[in-house]
Structure 1
Amino acid sequence: MGRERAGASAVSREDVGRTAARWPGRDRVGRAGLYAAGLAVVVETAWLLLKLPGAALVSDLGALVVAGWAALACLGAARRQPPVRCFWLLLAATMALAMIGRTLWTVLRLVGGGLPHTLPVGVLFVAGLVTGTAALLCSVTAPRTAVGRVRTLLDGVIVGLALIPVGWMLIFRDVAMADLDEPLRTAGLLYPMFDLMQLTILVAVIGPSRPVWPVLTLLGASLTVRAVGDTAYVSLAAAGTYQPGRLVDVLWPLSYLLIGLATRLGPPRYRADPDEAAESPLPPWWRVALPYLPVGGAIVAVVLASRPDGYVPQPIFIAMMALLATLALRQGLAANENLRLVGRLRQLAYMDQLTGLPNRLAFTRRLRAALLGTNRVAVLLLDLDGFKQVNDRFGHTTGDTLLTGLSRRMRRAVGADGMIARIGGDEFAVLVTGSPPAEPERLAERLLAALQPSPGEELVGVHPSASIGIAEYGPQHISDTDLLRDADIAMYAAKAAGKSAYRRSTPALRESAVSRAELIADLRRAVDEEQLRLEFQPIVDLATGAVRSAEALVRWRHPRLGLLSPARFLPLAEETGLILPIDRWVIKEACRAAATWQDRVPTATVAVNIAAAHLRRPDLIATVTEATAGAGLAPRALTLELTESALIEGSDAVLDRLGQLRELGIRIAIDDFGTGYSSLSYLHRIPATELKIDRSFVSRISDDARAYATVEMVTRLADAFDLGVVAEGVETERQHDAVAAIGCVQGQGYRYGRPAALAELRAVLTKAALPGGGGSSR
């Protein structure tokens, strides 16, 4: 079988069908030939079983006819299946050689009257073995490299040579040495040896993880039948009892028939993947040990065949010498392959497979080696901005293509001034050394310029920018890890500065990053160690001054830094996900606090801010219900304040979750209203109960006509949607008068009270609830 090119597509059954449609009579002719060949084998078998006259001639003619038909069938298969055409052509040549050899055998037998063990017959037999073995080595599952094919061939030769001493002991041991003087007769032992060699190759070429092509299965059955026939023939010929026309003669045409039958099967139904061999699992142990298992039997056979004086029959001696030479060649080939594999593995260990750049391991090794020298060493750490959006929008295939192109640009930009490596998904690093070294800032500018999109790429919209951090090795660095850490800190500073920029590491940046990391670590312990506390800012009725609600505001009393405002630690909590346990604690404590004033001011509620991350979690409802039930607080006494931006980003599942909270009685307030972009389109869907006008409008209401108009518009909008309105950030009397005149119902700010502890809020509520206290909510 000819070797199809790696990666060629397998022929589909539709292609075969179209071929048959162009020659409608071809398929009928093929079936007729198969029936005729099968009939020939059946007739020959019956003739030999009944021992009718002319059995030898019938046997020879049957084998000749079936071999000729199998050759034609293989030629037809070669035309129908172009990707595996060479495979079928080699099998056709094998069958043609078998037919020619059988013809010569028959003629010489009829002329000479005996078994024609002649050189021409042997040459034809060996030629057929060569073409048949070449077909096996060119099958769709055979090794794709020349070294792999040679190794597989040697495996088969080792098995065949190892079985020669075993066959000698089984067949020729009891034959007188005088009867073995005819070389061509004793050479008949090579027949089964070559059959077993081809069977070994067939087993070796069938991939352990690939689908087995049914053609190879039938080919294995054909080789097995032929091996049985050749073994029986050699045994009978050695004993001098073989006569043409015996039942064993049916096995050869039967093996040809199986090959012809294989041509009726379809082509391979999978693609030959050039990288499949690298990804295939390890073969089973018996596949690895297959060529070496018969060697032990060969050694035992040599010992048994040796005479007491140490004489070893010449065929066994030659076979063992050839076996040792083949084993040495096979082991040398294996050692060479191992060396190449080690080199390939070393290359893979230090190379990024997508971009071809050095990977993190190679970069780290080069960096550590550079730090041992005396030259200046600098590191540029580069992170692509917005690359995740490329993967999310266009898929990872487009992202990989983009990464490959960008890596080529960056490699050209760096040139000989440094070593660039890919150390992460969209992270790259450049090592700058030398005396004098290239200026890292100029190199960073070249990299940013190289990453600028061309006009065509700007239209596509898939070209990210980059942020670069620069760190130069100095006395403050103990190891390469410290240098990379500083470069990483500088890179994040570049991102914070607006991206598509570079920043050099400075002591101030490093100190800020260390402080930030320490603050995050302390924040993780804050909830468990009860370092958080709540303060409450009243929300009053603008008409009466009565406290209608209170917003719970979290504070952090740091054991070393003192009282920290929310602006200091809540952004860190949101970045790290710590906002979720903080939110849960705030909801629980706020409900417990509100339960303590319900007996004095039953209508006063408590408001709690909820982060966007918590809003997207399905356990929000369970958190709220457990907090209210645990505190014995009615759900109507709790208001959840959600930022406008969080609601805009919310999905339908978020809106459904808010609807379930409203059904429970929980109130929903939209905080900082007016700072978003599209809440008006969502307002009719959000199950809100009130709007909180952002303080940025209230602070300018007395001096800015536009701010006044905005507050007035929001108030009217709330009235249209039957929502309550809270004006935030009311600090002066003029602001109070303005929002009251507009029609805001409630207000919040320093004008009515600063955030205070629960005890102070309860005192205010108690005073307001007393008769004559003014502003009573009763």
Structure 2
Amino acid sequence: MAGTSAPEGRRRLTRGWPGLCLVVALVVLAIGVVLSTGVGGERVSQSISNVGLCLGAITAALACLLRARSYRGRARWGWALIGLGVLAWGLGQGAWVYLESYRGDEVPFPSQADIGYMGMVVFTPAGLLVLPSQAQALANRARSVLDGLMVATSLVLIAWILIITPMLNTGHDSMLALPISLAYPLGDVVIVTIVIYMTALQRQQGRDFGRLALVGAGVVAFAISDIGYAYLNLIGIYQSGGVTDIGWFAGFSLILLAARKPADAATDTSGSDAEAVEGAQIGVLLPYVAVLAALAITVVWFARTGQSNAFVVYTRSALILLMVGRQLLTLLENRSLTRNLEGRVADRTAELSASEQRFHALVQHSTDVVTVVSPESEVLYQSESLQRVFGASPQRLTGRRLTDMLTPAAAATLAEALRSLGGRPYATTSIELTLHRGDGGYRQAEITITNLLGDPSVGGLVLNTRDISERKLLQEQLVHEAYHDGLTQLANRALFREQVSEALDARAEGEDVTVLFLDLDGFKEVNDSLGHLAGDQLLVRVADRLRAAVRADDIVARFGGDEFAVLIAAPLGAPDAEQVAQRIVDSLHDPFRIDTREMHVQASIGLAAGALLADALLNGQGEAGADQLMRNADLAMYRAKEAGGSGWASYHPQMLAGLVERLELEADLRLALERGELELYYQPSIDLADNRVSGFEALVRWQHPTRGMISPLDFIPIAEATGLIVPLGHWVLTEACRQAVAWGVREQDLRMAVNVSVRQFDRIDLAAVVAEVLAETGMPADKLCLEMTESVLMTDTEENLEQLVRLKALGVSLAIDDFGTGYSSLAYLRRFPVDTLKIDRSFVERIGAQTDDAALARTIVQLGQSLNMSTVAEGVEEYGQLAALRAMGCRFAQGFYFSPPVPAAVAGRLLHDGSATPAAV
């Protein structure tokens, strides 16, 4: 079963097994009946039929017991007893099969099988009586008992005449045969009586009576077969496997259906009153129908036989007495109902009087103004609350047309509303009008009009008027707050987006829409140094200057923080947007004075014109075009900020292409580690004293499957910005240490240098990560050198010092990469436990000339010597640079003059050769 879970499938199979067993039992029974009627009633066919009956009974019994498990209390016991009764019959049938099939002689009557059959006569009525019903009053219970006795007595009388008397006339073989034969039909009469009574009762109470109806139909089928069974047994011609089995099997089937009938998920209350009335009528007529049927049968019986029978006479007398008692009880109930009705009428009259008084009080003191008018708007009634709410006298309105006292627009609206309700009794409509107050002012009012022309107590159209001026004012305030910035009162992002969308949809031919996106340069420093209160004051002043710099029709908005936007509509190709952008930049040149301080902020502005949008987004899709236009302006703003700020830049489609490429590259970088696309290259460091390889610097390279080799300058900034540098750096550190151990670093004077990014250095667990990698790879700590930039020394000094001390405690060496570009102070160098200074390549490349850079390189070498630090020159590409570095006393160097970064296999050969310097050196 596709799409079905195993537990659900098992539950469906469990629900369906009773039906399957019933089908099997039906097939077995049919085979037995056909064989018994076709070939002389052989014993084999009788056994097959009896087995089918046994299986059907046990199946119905188990279904009833399963139904009992789904209930609690009386319902559980009721269905359990019904199931036990049916199970007892099934066991009796099993005993019959045994006696008939294996004893080899005719089954006597009565026999052990009748014990099981009689179990159904005992348990089933008990179960039906246990089933719960709603509680009834004493009079109702007495009436129910009398009704049940009338039905039962009538059925017994009918059974006596039609069934029992013919049985008595046939005679019997033993003392038990007659009682047991009579027990079956009489027991069925009792069960049918109970079922009829319970079904009528539950229908009268509006409850689900479907299951009881099915049980009753099953018992009727049983009764028919029981009568035939008893009669055929008494005359000695009964044989199993005959037509009587069909009635029993039908009874089991109906009981099984009753047990398997699903319960309603929810009670449907629609029409419950009508069903209750219908049930009550059936409950009243049912006993009388049964009595009339019994009396009619006795009349016919006397007329045909002319016999007199004491049992029939006494039973008819009992019926008459029960009917008299029932009528007396009905008279008592009628008298009680009459008294109750009179009391209720009196109470209802007093209640109506009190209700009318409360109604008048509510109308007069209500916050709503109640007015009753004719279809022509003539005022028939006016509540006193008009004076309190609108300051007008009620007497001034009564008898006049309401439309004559309103403004023409309000009168037309009211007249149209009154006409729309004509011919629609009890219909309602609502309108909003502006009404005069007695003091000359105006108020917003909501009027609910109800057509009560057909109500004799009203006879007009009722107007409930309430003053909604404060609600309208609050709504306008909430709408304003939802679409405006609370600090500057400029439009917010939501309103600005709607206005851009409307402008795109409504622009005429030859017009263009341009969005300016502004971000303040230097605002974060103001917030961080002077606090948010000063920052908020500065934003308000900036908003004022923006309003003054734009044109009257331009829309200014604040998106939040220090982000602003301007919407400009101008002729296509006109420089209006650029001129507005330049005026904004110029207006921010002057300082802002906040309290006693002068503050300077500039703006980076991005411009995006609607003319560059795709035509598909502008053809009735202004919302999508607004989103794209605002995004384009945002991209252009970042381009202006990258150019140094305090200026503006226009959007170009290549900006979006660059952003898309960056996003794609970021997504690919996240998978590069898993795909094995990253590789380490190694650039050797040379000891200038003996030209031997003293170590390697591990540099990561990315071999993209479709783009080829990607430069670190392209993906390392992305990794830094997204935080991917942390897992990437961990991988580089692990692979570099593993490679160093593979080269035999323990036996050689060789060091492996690995770069550590600022993001990695900021993590408090960096020392623990390094220690874990060292332990995992077996790398000696003194052979590992961690390189970091000067920015580490310049920010968060105390925290970074603690980080360096933790790393130094592991035994690794520390190096400052690109030294000389960050202008770190000598005091910092003395405090930090740094081992190596790496001279930036920008100084090395000018060493041959007499420049400041050459002097700075010489100073760095001398500084390292004075602080007992090693110096490494980066970017050596010429022999002259090498000779000058040797003359300065620089100890180590690396660069393309010796070797570019190479794969591990090539680096291994360089290490094996022991030298990477050219032959000329």
Question: TM-score, length-normalised on structure 1?
Answer: 0.57
Contact 2:534 2:594 in 1 (8 A): no
Contact 1:616 1:650 in 2 (8 A): no
**1:522 equivalent in structure 2:** 668
How far off is 1:335 after superposition? 5.3
- Decide which of 591, 610, 633 is 1:473's aligned counterpart: 610
Is the partner of 1:514 in helix, strand or coil? helix
Is the partner of 1:696 in helix, strand or coil? helix
- Within 5 Å, give how 1:85-484 maps onto structure 2: 310=349, 320-329=359-368, 337-375=470-508, 376-433=512-569, 439-454=576-591, 456=593, 460-474=597-611, 476-477=613-614, 479-484=625-630
Is the partner of 1:392 in helix, strand or coil? helix
Is the partner of 2:709 in helix, strand or coil? strand
| Letter of the structure 2 residue corresponding to residue 404 of structure 1 | V
Is the partner of 1:325 in helix, strand or coil? helix
Q: Using a 3 Å threshold, how does the CA distance of structure 1 residues 611 and 334 change in structure 2: closer, same or farther?
A: farther
The whole-number CA distance in structure 2 between the counterparts of 1:507 and 1:760 is: 43
Contact 2:557 2:564 in 1 (8 A): yes
Q: Note the alpha carbon deviations across 1:743-765, whole angstroms, 9 max, x for none.
A: 11111111221110111111111
Q: Note the alpha carbon deviations across 1:343-382, whole angstroms, 9 max, x for none.
A: 3322221111111111111111111111112332111111
| Letter of the structure 1 residue corresponding to residue 363 of structure 2 | L
The whole-number CA distance in structure 1 between the counterparts of 2:676 and 2:364 is: 80
How far off is 1:556 after superposition? 1.4
How far off is 1:334 after superposition? 8.2
Is the partner of 2:857 in helix, strand or coil? helix
The whole-number CA distance in structure 1 between the counterparts of 2:610 and 2:885 is: 59
Q: Alignment length, in residue pairs? A: 470
Q: Using a 3 Å threshold, how does the CA distance of structure 1 residues 704 and 341 change in structure 2: closer, same or farther?
A: same
How far off is 1:453 after superposition? 2.5
| Letter of the structure 1 residue corresponding to residue 883 of structure 2 | D
Contact 1:768 1:774 in 2 (8 A): no
| Letter of the structure 2 residue corresponding to residue 624 of structure 1 | V
The whole-number CA distance in structure 1 between the counterparts of 2:598 and 2:760 is: 32
How far off is 1:417 after superposition? 3.3
How far off is 1:633 after superposition? 0.4
Q: Using a 3 Å threshold, how does the CA distance of structure 1 residues 309 and 646 change in structure 2: closer, same or farther?
A: closer
Is the partner of 2:914 in helix, strand or coil? helix
Q: Using a 3 Å threshold, how does the CA distance of structure 1 residues 724 and 752 change in structure 2: closer, same or farther?
A: same
**2:658 equivalent in structure 1:** 512
Contact 1:305 1:312 in 2 (8 A): no
Q: Using a 3 Å threshold, how does the CA distance of structure 1 residues 646 and 459 change in structure 2: closer, same or farther?
A: farther
| Letter of the structure 2 residue corresponding to residue 533 of structure 1 | E
Contact 1:669 1:689 in 2 (8 A): yes
How far off is 1:511 after superposition? 2.6
**2:766 equivalent in structure 1:** 620
**2:443 equivalent in structure 1:** none
**2:641 equivalent in structure 1:** 495
- Indicate the larger mover: 713-722 or 492-501: 713-722
Q: Note the alpha carbon deviations across 1:704-727, whole angstroms, 9 max, x for none.
A: 254343233222221221111111
How far off is 1:505 after superposition? 0.8
Higher radius of gyration, 1 or 2: 2
The whole-number CA distance in structure 1 between the counterparts of 2:853 and 2:486 is: 58
How far off is 1:549 after superposition? 0.9
How far off is 1:528 after superposition? 2.8
| Letter of the structure 1 residue corresponding to residue 770 of structure 2 | V
Contact 2:592 2:599 in 1 (8 A): no
Question: TM-score, length-normalised on structure 2?
Answer: 0.48
Structure 2: runs of 5 or more not aligned: 1-342, 371-464, 615-623
- Indicate the larger mover: 702-711 or 719-728: 702-711
Q: Using a 3 Å threshold, how does the CA distance of structure 1 residues 366 and 774 change in structure 2: closer, same or farther?
A: closer
- Within 5 Å, give how 1:746-765 maps onto structure 2: 746-765=892-911
How far off is 1:452 after superposition? 2.4
Structure 1: runs of 5 or more not aligned: 1-303
Is the partner of 1:468 in helix, strand or coil? strand
- Decide which of 734, 741, 745 is 1:588's aligned counterpart: 734
Q: Note the alpha carbon deviations across 1:166-197, whole angstroms, 9 max, x for none.
A: xxxxxxxxxxxxxxxxxxxxxxxxxxxxxxxx
How far off is 1:306 after superposition? 10
**1:558 equivalent in structure 2:** 704
| Letter of the structure 2 residue corresponding to residue 469 of structure 1 | G
Contact 2:591 2:601 in 1 (8 A): no
Q: Which has the higher contact order (CA 8 A, sep 6+)?
A: 1
Contact 2:685 2:695 in 1 (8 A): yes
How far off is 1:518 after superposition? 2.5
Contact 2:515 2:607 in 1 (8 A): yes
Q: Using a 3 Å threshold, how does the CA distance of structure 1 residues 386 and 309 change in structure 2: closer, same or farther?
A: closer
How far off is 1:324 after superposition? 3.2
- Decide which of 711, 721, 745 is 2:867's aligned counterpart: 721
The whole-number CA distance in structure 1 between the counterparts of 2:769 and 2:369 is: 70
The whole-number CA distance in structure 2 between the counterparts of 1:347 and 1:354 is: 13
Q: Note the alpha carbon deviations across 1:656-705, whole angstroms, 9 max, x for none.
A: 11111111101100111111223322001111111111112221112225
How far off is 1:494 after superposition? 0.4
- Indicate the larger mover: 628-637 or 330-339: 330-339
Q: Using a 3 Å threshold, how does the CA distance of structure 1 residues 453 and 523 change in structure 2: closer, same or farther?
A: farther
The whole-number CA distance in structure 2 between the counterparts of 1:330 and 1:741 is: 105
Q: Note the alpha carbon deviations across 1:93-120, whole angstroms, 9 max, x for none.
A: xxxxxxxxxxxxxxxxxxxxxxxxxxxx
